[in-house]
Amino acid sequence: MENLQLIIPELFISIMIMFLLIFGVFKKNSSQIVYNLTTLSLIAALALIINLDAQIQSSLFNNSYNIDSLARFMKILLILSGIFVMLSSSKYIQISKISKIEYPILILCSILGMMVMISSNDLIVFYMGLELQSLALYVLASFNRDNLLSTESGLKYFVLSALSSGLLLYGCSLIYGFSETTNFNQIMVNTKDIEYGLTFGIVFILVGLAFKISAVPFHMWAPDVYQGSPTSVTVFFALLPKIAALTVFIRFLYIPFYELGDQWQMIIIFLSIASMVFGAVAAIGQKNLKRLIAYSSISHMGYALAGLSTGTTQGVQSSITYITIYLVMNLAFFSCLFMLKRNDEYYESIEDLSGLSKNHPLLSLSLLVVLFSLAGIPPLAGFFAKFYIFVAVINEKMYFLAIVGLLATVIAAFYYLRIIKIIYFDPEKEKFESKHNLGLKFTLVASTFFILAYFIYPSGIVDIISQININ
Amino acid sequence: MNFPILSSLILLPTIGALFIFFVRSSNSQYQSSKYVALFITLANFFLSLYLWIVFDKSIVDFQFVEEREWISGFVNYKVGVDGISILFILLTTFITPICVITVNATIKNRLKDFLIAILILETFMIGVFCSLDLVVFYLFFEAGLIPMFLIIGIWGGERRVYSAFKFFLYTLLGSVLMLVAIISIYWITGTTDVIKLYELGIDAKYQNLLWLAFFSSFAVKTPMWPVHTWLPDAHVEAPTAGSVLLAAILLKMAGYGFIRFSLGLFPDASLYFVPLIYTLSLIAIIYTSLVALMQEDMKKLIAYSSVAHMGFVTLGIFTLTQQGIEGSIFQMISHGLVSAALFLCVGVVYDRLHTRLINRYGGLVSIMPKYAIVFMVFTLGALGLPGTSGFIGEFLVLMGAFKKNILVATIASLGVILGAAYMLWLYKRIIFGKLINEDVKKMVDLKRFEIVTLWLLVLPIIFFGFYPEPLINSIEVSVANMIDMNDLDKINKLALGE
């Protein structure tokens, strides 16, 4: 029973999924009610998680499920992002005619899967969570089934993701074969001497995980899926799976494979450099904002991986800080995207932003702040995110990684500046609608304010994160 | 707890900007927002003047130091001034209100946004000059790019987009290595606090690489040859107020950085790289002066002359002598006033004729006599005629250089002659000659606000030309301390084999 008490948030969400499913089926035209109930149940789940002891450290179910400070923080981050995604995209779903009861329920399923991933301390539990998450995401990506791009993106994501899951599973089986256990802590104990099979297992698992956070060279799906999916799903893609995948990355690298640092460090450094550079270069030619933000997030994942590659607690903490700030910036960016609406149609090409600052000064100002922050220009939050990463990286004397990373920010600055140029320097176009629902406005204002005012008290988040226990 | 005067200096413009931002905009309130900006910047000027008066010039330590925990256990927000930085703060707060006055004629659209950008920029500029922590310095140094990028891009001329991008990316590229160096310094010494670093010193084996990293940033910002190419573009396309701020203050950040960080933190490396700096400075002085001779666009000519003048500054700093460094600082202040004035002068005629091509003008002396007088003063100031502030700076720099290396000093002196050539020729082509163009004949002489702004600049240029004592007095102790502290004299003598 004690075990069950600690997983009340997960249990609560599972029960809500079943309840909402039954409720939605039996009550006609209930999609909006289900949507709101989903948001409410996420808020309730958030309260339940915050209610847990901050310094908690327990392993449940035969040591296969971890409830610790890392899991607690990441779950709070996950559900907070989920709430904001729900708040900001409610209007979009109605207008794009994808307001069905299944939509919020699938989101809940996927969040449940991610929570399991975050807490997993066992290969099988981890894989279960991963599949629950992915299956819900396949459906969500192709949710706008009358739209060719959306169906294409769902299918593409499904095929490629299945392939990567296969690789991941193969890696898991290799690890099991060589260590005779699926439990993370046991793997660490049993793998003192390095064998080739083990190295292969690590590589396969890393490939699978790299696919999930869209690190180069396993990024191919990201631009198409980002562009094709409905924007409300894209923002979900851009935020939540990254949190879960990064946590799993941390767990894998710092619990079972911690002793094998020499084996994986080069791989992570390569993934990191490739993502930073490729993401920055490939985004230059993009014309669609969603596609551009896909490349931008590839590049950002590169920085988060750079923090992980150091193999130190400080590095992990810098990665967690990075992902936190990344979430806020992307949330603000997508909120702006949701506001580009005219006559019930959403606009997502860069050219549509032309001269936005004349008609919508406040919206443009938010975009300006967000874009400069994404580019990592001080004094905005994005600068601090990169700053922590580089502090950790340089502490390990990995100067090459640091310099490549910083040069990539200069390249990346170019395409962010290009958007700013179009917003501020180019001739104006037709006005967009200026009436938006409260949730969307609140999301935008809160996230922009966070980015702008972060420098006043930068210690806040760092202090919280520095209390997270990694090992 | 003393009144946090430096933080107020930094924050006041931002508060003003927020105020202007939140006041609802309608056409009639455009004017009032200008008065708000003027009031704020003037208040800031008087505050910094007060700071200068109460500042004790005989003490070597940093004064008005404020320290507050910022990024816990890592970086503290720390500001303070010594005799060197206080002058740059004064220059900043003096030039900014003048820019605000000029917006009347030059900025036609989105005046409110422009004022906000200028005020925010002032915050960052003052922050650069009084930060006593490397990370805080970097923050302010980089943050200044955002408002300047917008000023060039939104209110600039035809090729504004190209220039704004070039300005931003060049400077950003230069600065990223500095960030690596700053973080490395933290891991080597355990602090980024400048005062503590002065006491601790940095191991000589790290100095060269760190020096180069800082150099890459400052060289772009100065700008030194061969990374100066962004400057003419940025100057030509920026609106008058933007050019003025760029020439008068933003360029000085790099010179200030050289003195405060390159000399202060890496004395051994500074000595090691003296030949490099000498070479680049001499090329800048001679080559860009020649390029300036060939220019047909007034703003471009002045931009290239800025590069040449900054060549004197870098040369003076790296003579590592009392005279040389004092001369450089004096030259920076003087150039801040003179180049600001020259860009304002260009702005005056540009507003009337909407061209910057030199050959479209000629014979202005007969229709704009008042303009001819002030322009004359600034031309002479730029070429360093005795009796103007430009002379003192160049003279001290050359004196320092002669002490060290006669060949270098001789070549640099040639630059003075070239400077006289291009400035006088410019003056001749614009002011004298025959009045040919019909539209030039219709130009009116200076309006009242132009007279005010230009004469405000004439006064200090002539005053400090005859009586440089207040400025020299202010920097003397700090420069001497800088030289003592790092044993620059001793290092010098060792190098010379004495």
Supply the pLDDT for residue B495: 56
> Is B54 buried (19+), middle (13-18) or exposed (0-12) by CB count in 10 A?
exposed
Q: Say yes or no to pLDDT of B494 above 60.
A: no
Q: Which of A466-470, B267-271, B384-388 has the lowest mean pLDDT?
A: A466-470
A272-329 tens-digit pLDDT? 999 999 999 999 888 999 999 999 999 999 999 999 998 888 899 999 999 999 999 9
Task: For residue B146, list chain A residues with Cβ-Cβ distance below 8 A.
Answer: 372, 377
Question: How far A467 CA sits from the closest chain B CA (Å)?
Answer: 13
Question: How far B169 CA sits from the closest chain A CA (Å)?
Answer: 7
Q: Is A399 near chain B, with CB under 8 Å? A: yes
What is chain A's percent helix, strand, coil content, to nearest 5?
75, 5, 20
For residue B80, give the 3-state DSSP assignment.
strand
Task: For residue A424, list chain B residues with Cβ-Cβ distance below 8 A.
Answer: 150, 153-154
Size of interface A-B (CB pairs under 8 A): 83
The closest alpha carbon to B288, from B273, B272, B277, B302, belongs to B302
Q: Give me the percent of chain B exceeding a pLDDT of 90.
A: 27
Supply the pLDDT for residue A17: 93
Record: contact A377-B70, CB cut-off 8 A: no
Partner residue facing A458 (CB), from B71, B177, B183: B71
Record: contact B180-A410, CB cut-off 8 A: no
Q: Is A467 near chain B, with CB under 8 Å? A: no
Supply the pLDDT for residue B366: 83
Report the C-alpha gap between A302 and A306 in whole angstroms: 6
Whether ipTM > 0.95 holds is no
Distances (CA, A) of A232 to A103, A111, A392: 10, 15, 34
Q: Say yes or no to pLDDT of A402 above 50.
A: yes
Supply the pLDDT for residue B139: 92
Average pLDDT over residues A168-196: 85
For residue A429, give the 3-state DSSP assignment.
coil
Supply the mean pLDDT for chain B: 86
Question: How far A307 CA sits from the closest chain B CA (Å)?
Answer: 15
A385 touches A460 (CB < 8 A): no
| Residue A122 dihedral angles phi and psi, to the nearest 5° | -155, 140
Record: contact B180-A402, CB cut-off 8 A: yes
Report the C-alpha gap between A322 and B226 in whole angstroms: 36
Report the C-alpha gap between B484 and B419 in whole angstroms: 34
B465 touches B388 (CB < 8 A): yes
Q: Say yes or no to pLDDT of A355 above 70.
A: yes
Average pLDDT over residues A432-446: 89
User: Which among A366, A421, A426, A451 is the top mutation candidate for probing chain B, defined by the most B β-carbons within 10 Å of its own β-carbon?
Assistant: A421
- In terms of DSSP bridges, do strands A345-346 and B63-71 run parallel, antiparallel, or are they unpaired? unpaired
Q: Say yes or no to pLDDT of B45 above 60.
A: yes
Distances (CA, A) of B325 to B132, B319, B328, B458: 20, 7, 5, 25
Would you place residue B498 in the very low, low, confident or very high pLDDT band (cuts 50, 70, 90)? very low
Q: Which of B331-340, B400-409, B441-450 has the lowest mean pLDDT?
A: B441-450
The closest alpha carbon to B8, from B44, B42, B41, belongs to B44
Q: Is A452 near chain B, with CB under 8 Å? A: no
Supply the mean pLDDT for chain A: 89
Average pLDDT over residues B417-422: 90
Supply the pLDDT for residue B490: 59
Record: contact B180-A395, CB cut-off 8 A: no
Quote the tokens at residue B123. 């915050």
Q: Say yes or no to pLDDT of A383 above 80.
A: yes
Task: For residue A458, list chain B residues with Cβ-Cβ distance below 8 A.
Answer: 70-71
Distances (CA, A) of A236 to A47, A72, A80, B142: 21, 20, 12, 33
B48-62 tens-digit pLDDT? 999 888 888 888 888
Partner residue facing A417 (CB), from B138, B160, B165: B165
pTM: 0.92
A46-60 tens-digit pLDDT? 999 998 877 778 888
Q: Say yes or no to pLDDT of A445 above 60.
A: yes
Task: For residue B173, list chain A residues with Cβ-Cβ distance below 8 A.
Answer: 407, 410
- CA Rg, chain A, in Å? 21
Q: Is the dihedral of CA A121, A206, A396, A390 positive or negative?
A: negative
* Closest-approach residue (CA) in chain B for A427: B154
Q: Say yes or no to pLDDT of B496 above 60.
A: no
Q: Say yes or no to pLDDT of A430 above 60.
A: yes
Would you place residue B442 in the very low, low, confident or very high pLDDT band (cuts 50, 70, 90)? confident
Task: For residue A409, list chain B residues with Cβ-Cβ distance below 8 A.
Answer: 172, 176
Please identify which residue in the block is written with the tokens 């690190």: A215
Q: Which of A33-37, A134-138, A188-192, B307-311 has the lowest mean pLDDT?
A: A188-192
User: Which among B113, B183, B210 is the top mutation candidate for probing chain A, defined by the most A β-carbons within 10 Å of its own β-carbon?
Assistant: B183
Partner residue facing B71 (CB), from A403, A406, A462: A462
Q: Is A379 near chain B, with CB under 8 Å? A: yes
Q: Within 13 Å of residue B220, how many CA atoms lie on the same side as its CB?
A: 21
Q: Say yes or no to pLDDT of A80 above 80.
A: yes
Task: For residue A463, list chain B residues with Cβ-Cβ distance below 8 A.
Answer: 72
- B201 Rama class: left (phi>0) / alpha (psi -120 to 50) / beta: left
Report the C-alpha gap between A99 and B94 in whole angstroms: 60
Average pLDDT over residues B176-199: 88
Supply the pLDDT for residue B493: 58
The closest alpha carbon to B150, from A450, A409, A372, belongs to A372
Supply the pLDDT for residue B431: 85
The closest alpha carbon to B334, from B255, B257, B264, belongs to B255
Record: contact B179-A409, CB cut-off 8 A: no
User: Which among A406, A409, A455 is the top mutation candidate for probing chain B, defined by the most B β-carbons within 10 Å of its own β-carbon?
Assistant: A406
B95-142 tens-digit pLDDT? 999 888 888 777 777 888 888 999 999 999 999 999 999 999 999 999
Task: For residue B169, list chain A residues with Cβ-Cβ distance below 8 A.
Answer: 410, 413-414, 417
Would you place residue A15 in the very low, low, confident or very high pLDDT band (cuts 50, 70, 90)? very high
Report the C-alpha gap between B498 and B493 in whole angstroms: 5
Would you place residue A147 in the very low, low, confident or very high pLDDT band (cuts 50, 70, 90)? confident
Q: Say yes or no to pLDDT of B29 above 70.
A: no
Measured in residues, chain A has a length of: 471
- The residues near B322 (Cβ < 8 Å, ≥ 6 apart) are B400, B479, B480, B483
Average pLDDT over residues B191-198: 86
Report the C-alpha gap between A283 and A302 in whole angstroms: 14
For residue B375, give the 3-state DSSP assignment.
helix
Would you place residue A196 in the very low, low, confident or very high pLDDT band (cuts 50, 70, 90)? confident
Report the C-alpha gap between B340 and A18 in whole angstroms: 71
For residue B76, give the 3-state DSSP assignment.
strand
B170-186 tens-digit pLDDT? 999 888 889 999 999 99
Q: b vs e for A368-394, b when ≥16 Cβ sit within 10 Å of the residue's Cβ?
A: bbbbbbbbbbbbbbbbbbbbbbbbbbb
